[in-house]
Amino acid sequence: MKIVISQLNYVIGDVDGNTSKILEEISKARKVNADLIIFSELAVCGYPPKDLLDYPSFIDRCELAVKQIGENSSNIGVIFGAPSWSNLDRGKKLYNSAYFFENQKLLKRIDKTLLPTYDVFDEYRYFEPNKIFECISFRSEKLAVTICEDLWNIDDQKMYKLIPMDVLQNENPTLMINLSGSPYSYNHVEKRRNRMQQNAKKYSLPLFYVNQVGGNTDILFDGGSMFINKNGDVVEECAFYQEDFKIIEWSSGSVYPDNHQDYYDYDISLIHDALLMGIKDYFTKMGFKKAIIGSSGGIDSAVVHALAAKALGGENVKAIMMPSKYSSKGSVDDAVKLAENLNSPYRIISIEETVESLNSTLEEEFEGLGEDITEENIQARSRGIILMAISNKYGHIVLNTSNKSESAVGYSTLYGDMCGGLSVIGDLYKEQVYELARFMNRDGKIIPQEIINKEPSAELRPDQKDSDSLPDYSVLDKILFHYIEEKKGWREIVKLGMDEDLVRRIIRLVDKNEYKRFQASPTLRISHKAFGIGRQMPIVAKYDH
């Protein structure tokens, strides 16, 4: 039996476009005489479709597409994901379904059982869980088809009471198929492969695992679809960060050796590629070509500039250097050098006049009061206005350059350096930003060494250094990681050997700045706990845990 894994990049909501892509792939599969082609979860509408699913007209449109794809299943089995009406008297109105057509006939609709509702997932917001389990006879095989999370409930800490494959196994299937929408995070690649291998071994069945690829605002799908043999060896693995069309000759008697690429749990090159794809797809899918960056000569904007140049072409990224009287000469020079390295247009626009006019405008209101954080924020916001004005004038998108460490503790100005359509490195702690800079410089100096070497500074007052108000990033990032990713309270973090006053101060800063992050731009997600929809903390609240 010839089986095709079709790993595609879908556009959310674009039912027409996604359907066309699916139909093309079916034609391609038919040309190579494939018996079966498999697409990923919710392929017809893209993942995650979010509250588009609340629109009945949208579901009706998806059902039309399902029909259209079904009509194009002559001589080939086609499995793909789409939402479907549940038509139940009681329960949620929709299922997250996999449709299985052959020769214009619906062989079966399989509905998802386990609905992830945590972190960035919210499927129970829309879908009713399936309670009916049946395998599907197809040619000489018996297929156990499941959808994404249905195969994940297999480790020691089971999040759901039911294990769908345990039920399906009773019918003695010969093959497992899983339609997936499994987004990237840096510790997910290895975990996902292990989990799928565990399934193959547990049930002693081969598994065709079909993921999707592409950036959908903040969520990044990395692909890596697999064919795993019944011993748990990864026989075929699809590309990462690219569409793929993988033909697999399958027969139950054959021997399939382990053949997987060696990715590690934490790999800066995968983070790098994920961010590139995230930038690229954000622009392509929104219909934009060009980006603007406020380039300070610091490490954060340098890394974002270098990433954007790689994703969009250096000539499509415009760097704006906006020095003030507190900017060192080196800052502008370094930013210019970077722009030249990247072949990017740039312009130096002083904020002095704007800052002075604002200070003079506010003189009467602030009479008799000393300078404080207000004047620093005025600088950051003047830069924000200038960037947004250029964005408005040319229709280019401002890329935000904040990192996760500063977002966490609120070391950033709302409507100032927090502005932008997309945060590129907002899920990387400062130390990871440095790691990424070194990685990008591995084949030559894209990012000037001066930028990597200089001590971090916001340059908003004379001789300011980040270390004036924050601990070393090596310490800060560690506290933040334990609080945010590991969800430890302050007592637990102190037990790890950290200073109590410091830990509590940092945690209070994180909590206090929830109101800022609520208004932040979407952030490319590369960790298992990114700021944004995956971490929903109360704003008006009081806690100290």
Which residues in 192-221 contact a copy of itself (CB under 8 A)? 215-217
Which 425-464 positions form the footprint of a copy of itself (CB under 8 A)? none
- Nearest Cα neighbor of 540 from 504, 514, 506 is 514
Angle between helices 430-440 and 299-312 (to 10 degrees): 50
| Catalytic site includes residue 280 | no
Residue with Cβ nearer a copy of itself (127 or 250)? 127
Instruction: For the CB of residue 259, give the shortest distance to a copy of itself in the complex, in Å.
Output: 34
Residue with Cβ nearer a copy of itself (351 or 433)? 351
Candidates 99-107, 153-161, 326-334, 473-481: pick the segment binding a copy of itself (CB under 8 A): 153-161
Q: Does 543 bind a copy of itself (CB under 8 A)?
A: yes
Give me the torsion for CA of 461, 465, 466, 471, rounded to 10°.
Answer: -130
**How far apart (Å, rounded) are the C-alpha atoms in residues 423 and 416?**
13
**How far apart (Å, rounded) are the C-alpha atoms in residues 352 and 338?**
23
Q: Which residue stretches of 362-472 are H helix?
A: 373-394, 404-409, 430-440, 449-453
Instruction: For the CB of residue 196, give the shortest distance to a copy of itself in the complex, in Å.
Output: 20
Pick the catalytic residue from 21, 112, 246, 430: 112
| Catalytic site includes residue 112 | yes
Which 57-86 positions form the footprint of a copy of itself (CB under 8 A)? 57-58, 61
Q: Does 323 bind a copy of itself (CB under 8 A)?
A: no
- Nearest Cα neighbor of 78 from 55, 52, 44, 54 is 44
Q: Does 509 bind a copy of itself (CB under 8 A)?
A: no
Instruction: For the CB of residue 1, give the shortest distance to a copy of itself in the complex, in Å.
Output: 35
Which 345-374 positions form the footprint of a copy of itself (CB under 8 A)? 347, 349-351, 353-354, 356-358, 360-362, 364-366, 369, 372-374
Is 125 strand, coil or helix? helix
Which 286-305 positions form the footprint of a copy of itself (CB under 8 A)? 286
- Token code pair at residue 72: 């194009």
Per DSSP, 532 falls in state B
Residue with Cβ nearer a copy of itself (246 or 285)? 285
Which 265-284 positions form the footprint of a copy of itself (CB under 8 A)? 281-282
**How far apart (Å, rounded) are the C-alpha atoms in residues 295 and 456?**
14
- HSE, CB side, 13 Å, CA atoms: give it for residue 64: 10
Q: Does 479 bind a copy of itself (CB under 8 A)?
A: no
Pick the catalytic residue from 21, 25, 41, 123: 41
Candidates 13-21, 242-250, 429-437, 472-480: pick the segment binding a copy of itself (CB under 8 A): 13-21
Candidates 144-152, 336-344, 437-445, 520-528: pick the segment binding a copy of itself (CB under 8 A): 520-528
**How far apart (Å, rounded) are the C-alpha atoms in residues 163 and 523?**
33
H or E element that contains 415: none
Q: Does 515 bind a copy of itself (CB under 8 A)?
A: yes
Q: Does 56 bind a copy of itself (CB under 8 A)?
A: yes
Q: Cis (ω within 30 of 0) for the bond into 183?
A: no
Task: Choose which of 193, 381, 396, 404 interacts with a copy of itself (CB under 8 A).
Answer: 381
Torsion sign (Cα): 436, 243, 67, 250: negative
Q: Does 520 bind a copy of itself (CB under 8 A)?
A: yes
| Catalytic site includes residue 41 | yes
- Token code pair at residue 533: 């929809």
Q: Does 491 bind a copy of itself (CB under 8 A)?
A: yes
Which 106-135 positions form the footprint of a copy of itself (CB under 8 A)? 115, 117-118, 122, 124-125
Torsion sign (Cα): 78, 79, 82, 88: positive
- HSE, CB side, 13 Å, CA atoms: give it for residue 336: 10
Residue with Cβ nearer a copy of itself (188 or 381)? 381
Residues serving a catalytic function are 41, 112, 148
